Amino acid sequence: MKNDLYRPLRIGSLGLDGNLFLAPMSGCTDSAFRSICVGYGAKLTFTGLVSAEALVRRSAASEGLLRRAANEAVYAVQLFGASPEVMGEAAALLAPYRPGLVDINAGCPVPKVTRCGAGAALMRTPEKLARIVEAVAGAARDALGGIPVSVKLRSGWDAGSINFAECSRFSVEAGASLVSLHARTRAQGYSGKSCWRHIAELADALPVPVAGSGDLYSPEDAALMLEETGCAAVMFARGALGNPFIFTATRALLLGRKAETPDAALCVTTALRQLEMFAEDAGEASACRQMRKVFCAYTKGLHGAAPLRARLVQAKTIAEYRSLLESFLA
């Protein structure tokens, strides 16, 4: 394995001291989870999808999505939308939140996003995608102090329209300073295998950094992607859910060091800390309800945890969670 896989990275005017990112995930990358991941070594975190239309309408829901964690020295806001004008206006409205980067979602495969022409649907009209990048880059320059703009892509709409190279070239020419590629098509969703060869082709062709995403579930996966594709950074998505320790372990592997495997106590206390932070933002009842699947992820693989998970999905208060988890550890 090469000895320079973990390294600093510059994205336009933004300098980072590492290349391990937390990918944007709708309903998952709230400020509490991002804070946990930063604590374990994520060097750039992305919000979940923020609707440009909702932001321009001053939707109260957008405020929660944009909330920044106290330990996030820098974070990225991901916007989605289909109108260059609205996307530019929404980007300008991010000034009070002081993001370090604005990310344009051109890869989400979910029908409620693509039906309105946003997300992966933008890859069907590369010229329109370029106009959106240009509008957001203009807002970033004029209203946000010149912060960089990035674009998150898929390999293409489906197997018959693999056009990530064209969309990336249009995006960079329009002002993008980073391209992130989830190397699956929109039609694949999250099934099948991602095609890392597409990431390698992009990393070789573009004058800006490329971040790779897809099938990253272990430190070894990340090392292999960096080495095989030559990408500048890796973005953990589902592989980090319930396992923020993957950032620490990956950094250790890339630097030739040994990382300790998290024990049950660390998994449980980290999950509880995430719940408590999430409750401060979303309220206890909502946080406890939404965190049930998260606790299942944190306890996956722990010896004797199956009965615990069956009871955790019924928990309604932080006190109930704490009692169940303390009994399990005891």
Q: CB-side exposure of 42: number of CA atoms within 13 Å? A: 32
Place of tokens 């829901």: 61
SS3 186: coil
108 is catalytic: yes
Please name the residues in contact with 111: beta carbons below 8 A apart, sequence gap of 6 or more: none
Residue of 108, 195, 267, 288 marked catalytic: 108
Strand residues in the chain grouped as ranges (E): 9-11, 14-16, 20-22, 44-51, 75-80, 101-106, 149-156, 178-185, 210-213, 233-236
**How many CB atoms neighbour CB 74 within 10 A?**
17
Under DSSP, the state recorded for 145 is S
Single-letter amino acid, residue 106: A
- At residue 278, φ and ψ (nearest 5 deg) are -65, -40
Q: How far is CA 244 from CA 5, 13, 123, 216, in A?
A: 20, 27, 31, 13
Helices 196-205 and 164-174, packing angle to 10 deg: 40
Catalytic residues: 108
